[in-house]
C-alpha cells in the first residue's frame, strides 16, 4: 500500500491538520507506482523535504489509460447524462468548500504562496470553476441546420474520449480545476499529471473525487516527471487529446509528440511577457496599485504577469516613485504569517533561474532600481525587483522571467508604444491605463494579446475565456470557449424523402 501524509499546522494564519494518501490515483484507488519509487516534495520556505509521493512511469500511464477507456465505454462518456455529470461536479465543489481551509494550507505549504491568498483566491476560484462547468454539463448542444425539405441535418458535440492533461506548479489546484472542469462537463475521462514540484493538492482532491461519487476510471492522477509521464501522455496512441499549461519551450515539445503519435488534439496555455501601458491621463494611484498587482501577483510566478511596465514620460517619475514605495512595503516571509504578502519561489531550480535573470540585467547595464537580491538566508525568497534604464534587446525585457522581477520603461508617443508593447513573441495578456475610454479601448484593440485589461490587471473569471496569441498558446481555458477543446463535432444527415 502507498504511504500517507500527515501534517499539523499551528500558525498565525491557520491552525489545523491534514492526512491523505500519496500514491498514484487510478480507477478510484491509491496505488504504488510500478517501479515502487518516490519523489521528494520540498518545502520552499526552507528547502527541506515535506514528504514523498509515488512516482509514476510509462507502465502506470498504460494502466490509467485502460481504466479511463473502460470508464468511458461503460459509466461515463455517452453513458452518463449531462445532469449526472453536473451533479457530480457540484458535489465535488461542495466538498472542496467544506475542506477549503485545509486545501489552502496544503497549497501554501507545497507551493509557497500565502495561506490567505490560497484560501481567498486559488481554492475559492477553483470551486467556482467546478460549479461553473457543472452548470454547463447538461447544456452541451449542437445545431439543426436547414438545407432543404428532404433532409434533416443536425450536429452533435460528443466527448473526445480519453484525454491527457499536464498542469504546472504555479497554481496547482486552480490549474487542476481549469483542466478537469470542462473535460468532465463534456463527458471525457482523464489522465492528469500535476507538477512533481507541487503534487499535494492534486492528491488531496483525489479523495474528494471518490467521495463525490465519480465512477472509477473517470479521473486518474499520476505524479511523475515530464520526460516520462508527460511524454507518455503526449505520445500515447489511445489518448486522443492533450491539454498542457506551462512554458512555451515544453509546449513545442508536447505539440511535436502529439503530431508524431496519433495527431491528437492539442490545447496549449503557454508563456507570456505581458505589457502594462500607463498613459499620462491615467488615474495615477489606480495605475500604480494595479501595476504592482500585475507584476508581483503570485510572486511573479504567473504567465500573464505584467512584467514590462511602459509609463508615459509626463508621469514617469511620479509613477516610479509611488510604485517603488508600494513595492518596498511588500512583506516577504512565511506563507503562514498573518501579514505576509509574498512567500518563497517554488523551488531551488526556479530560484536560481530568476537570480540568473537578475544578474543578466545587472551585467547588461540596466539599473537595479529596487531589490535584486536574495531575501533572508534560507529557502527560496527573492526581493521584489524593479529594473530601469533598460534596452529592448536585454534578456530581462525579452524573456519570461517568472519571478518578482519587472522593468519600467519610459515612452512619449502613443503610436510607438503599440509597437513596443507588441514587440514580443508572446501574446497572452496586456493592461492599459487611461481615463480616456476611447484611448484605452483603441489601444486595447491594437494590442496583440488574448486578454487585455483596462484600468485593472490579472483579473480572471470562470466564465471569461483566457488564452494567448502568437507563441502564448492554442485554444482557450475557462468560459464556454473551453468546452470547445473537449468535444468532437459530428454532423448527422437524415434523409426524409429524397429518392435517387
What is the per-residue pLDDT across 385-428, written as a single tens digit (0 to 9) for each? Answer: 999 999 999 999 999 999 999 999 999 998 899 999 999 999 99
**Is 44 inside a domain boundary?**
yes
Answer yes or no: do 222 and 300 share one domain.
no
Answer yes or no: do 421 and 482 share one domain.
no
Answer yes or no: do 211 and 286 share one domain.
no
Separation CA 303–CA 49 (nearest Å): 27
* pLDDT tens digits along 455-467: 999 999 999 999 9
Q: Residue 308 — pLDDT band, cuts 50, 70, 90?
A: very high
**Is 134 inside a domain boundary?**
yes
Q: Could you tell me the residue range of the domain that residue 222 belongs to? A: 4-270+474-489
204 grid coordinates: 488531496
Q: Residue 346 — pLDDT band, cuts 50, 70, 90?
A: very high
pLDDT attached to residue 497: 83
* pLDDT > 80? residue 1: no
pLDDT attached to residue 415: 87
Q: How many domains does the chain have?
A: 2
**Is 217 inside a domain boundary?**
yes
Quote the percentage of the chain above a pLDDT of 90.
Answer: 98
In Å, the largest CA–CA distance within the chain is 83
**Is 467 inside a domain boundary?**
no
Please confirm, yes or no, whether 269 is among the known catalytic residues.
yes
| Pairing relationship of beta strands 405-411 and 308-312 according to DSSP bridges | parallel
254 grid coordinates: 508536447
pLDDT attached to residue 47: 96
Q: At what angle do helices 82-98 and 172-185 cross, to 10 degrees?
A: 160
Answer yes or no: do 250 and 304 share one domain.
no
449 and 308 Cβ atoms separated by less than 8 Å: no
**Is 498 inside a domain boundary?**
no
Answer yes or no: do 9 and 148 share one domain.
yes
DSSP class of residue 214 equals: P
Q: How many residues does the chain have?
A: 500
Q: Give the three-class secondary structure for 177.
A: helix
- What CATH code is carried by the domain that includes residue 353? 3.40.309.10
**Is 468 inside a domain boundary?**
no
- What CATH code is carried by the domain that includes residue 233? 3.40.605.10
Q: Which of 55, 102, 196, 269 is catalytic?
A: 269
Answer yes or no: do 135 and 247 share one domain.
yes
Answer yes or no: do 339 and 203 share one domain.
no
413 grid coordinates: 508617443
Answer yes or no: do 448 and 318 share one domain.
yes
pTM: 0.96
pLDDT attached to residue 158: 97
Answer yes or no: do 229 and 307 share one domain.
no
Answer yes or no: do 280 and 266 share one domain.
no
**Is 469 inside a domain boundary?**
no
Answer yes or no: do 398 and 301 share one domain.
yes
**Is 391 inside a domain boundary?**
yes
Q: Residue 288 — pLDDT band, cuts 50, 70, 90?
A: very high
* pLDDT tens digits along 71-118: 999 999 999 999 999 999 999 999 999 999 999 999 999 999 999 999
Answer yes or no: do 302 and 261 share one domain.
no
* pLDDT tens digits along 171-226: 999 999 999 999 999 999 999 999 999 999 999 999 999 999 999 999 999 999 99
Amino acid at each position: 500500500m502507498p504511504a500517507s501524509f500527515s501534517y499539523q499546522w499551528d500558525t498565525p494564519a491557520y491552525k489545523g491538520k491534514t492526512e491523505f494518501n500519496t500514491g498514484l490515483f487510478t480507477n478510484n484507488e491509491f496505488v504504488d507506482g510500478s517501479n515502487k519509487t518516490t519523489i521528494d516534495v520540498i518545502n520552499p520556505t526552507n528547502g527541506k523535504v515535506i514528504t514523498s509521493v509515488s512516482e509514476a512511469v510509462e507502465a502506470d500511464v498504460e494502466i490509467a489509460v485502460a481504466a479511463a477507456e473502460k470508464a468511458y465505454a461503460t459509466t461515463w462518456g455517452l453513458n452518463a447524462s449531462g445532469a449526472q455529470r453536473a451533479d457530480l461536479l457540484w458535489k465535488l465543489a461542495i466538498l472542496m468548500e467544506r475542506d477549503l481551509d485545509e486545501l489552502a494550507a496544503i497549497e501554501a505549504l507545497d507551493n509557497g504562496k500565502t495561506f490567505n491568498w490560497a484560501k481567498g483566491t486559488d481554492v475559492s476560484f477553483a470551486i467556482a470553476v467546478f460549479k461553473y462547468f457543472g452548470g454547463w454539463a447538461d447544456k452541451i448542444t449542437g445545431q439543426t441546420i436547414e438545407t432543404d425539405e428532404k433532409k434533416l441535418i443536425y450536429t452533435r458535440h460528443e466527448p473526445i474520449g480519453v484525454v491527457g492533461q499536464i498542469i504546472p506548479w504555479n497554481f496547482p489546484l486552480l490549474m487542476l480545476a481549469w483542466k478537469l472542469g470542462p473535460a468532465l462537463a463534456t463527458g471525457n475521462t482523464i489522465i492528469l499529471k500535476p507538477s512533481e514540484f507541487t503534487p499535494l493538492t492534486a492528491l488531496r482532491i483525489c479523495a474528494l473525487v471518490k467521495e463525490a461519487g465519480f465512477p472509477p476510471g473517470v479521473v486518474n492522477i499520476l505524479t511523475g516527471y515530464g520526460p516520462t509521464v508527460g511524454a507518455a501522455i503526449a505520445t500515447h496512441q489511445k489518448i486522443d487529446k492533450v491539454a498542457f499549461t506551462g512554458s512555451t519551450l515544453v509546449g513545442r515539445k508536447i505539440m511535436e509528440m502529439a503530431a508524431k503519435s496519433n495527431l491528437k488534439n492539442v490545447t496549449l496555455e503557454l508563456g507570456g511577457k505581458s505589457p502594462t501601458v500607463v498613459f499620462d491621463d491615467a488615474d495615477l494611484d489606480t495605475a500604480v496599485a494595479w501595476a504592482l498587482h500585475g507584476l508581483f501577483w503570485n510572486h511573479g510566478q504567473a504567465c500573464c504577469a505584467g512584467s514590462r511596465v511602459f509609463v508615459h514620460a509626463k508621469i514617469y517619475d511620479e509613477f516610479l516613485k509611488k510604485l517603488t514605495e508600494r513595492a518596498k512595503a511588500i512583506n516577504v516571509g512565511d506563507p503562514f504569517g498573518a501579514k505576509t504578502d509574498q512567500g518563497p519561489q517554488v523551488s531551488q531550480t526556479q530560484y536560481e533561474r530568476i537570480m540568473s535573470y537578475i544578474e543578466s540585467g545587472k551585467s547588461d547595464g540596466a539599473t537595479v532600481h529596487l531589490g535584486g537580491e536574495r531575501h533572508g538566508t534560507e529557502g527560496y525568497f527573492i526581493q521584489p525587483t524593479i529594473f530601469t534604464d533598460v534596452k529592448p534587446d536585454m534578456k530581462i525585457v525579452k524573456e519570461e522571467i517568472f519571478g518578482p522581477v519587472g522593468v519600467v520603461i519610459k515612452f512619449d508617443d502613443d503610436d510607438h508604444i503599440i509597437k513596443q508593447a507588441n514587440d514580443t513573441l508572446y501574446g497572452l495578456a496586456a493592461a492599459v491605463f487611461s481615463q480616456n475610454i476611447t484611448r484605452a479601448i483603441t489601444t486595447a484593440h491594437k494590442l496583440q494579446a488574448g486578454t487585455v485589461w483596462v484600468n485593472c490587471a490579472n483579473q480572471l473569471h470562470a466564465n471569461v475565456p483566457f488564452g494567448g496569441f502568437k507563441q502564448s498558446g492554442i485554444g482557450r481555458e475557462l468560459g464556454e470557449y473551453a468546452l470547445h477543446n473537449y468535444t468532437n463535432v459530428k454532423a448527422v444527415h437524415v434523409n426524409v424523402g429524397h429518392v435517387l
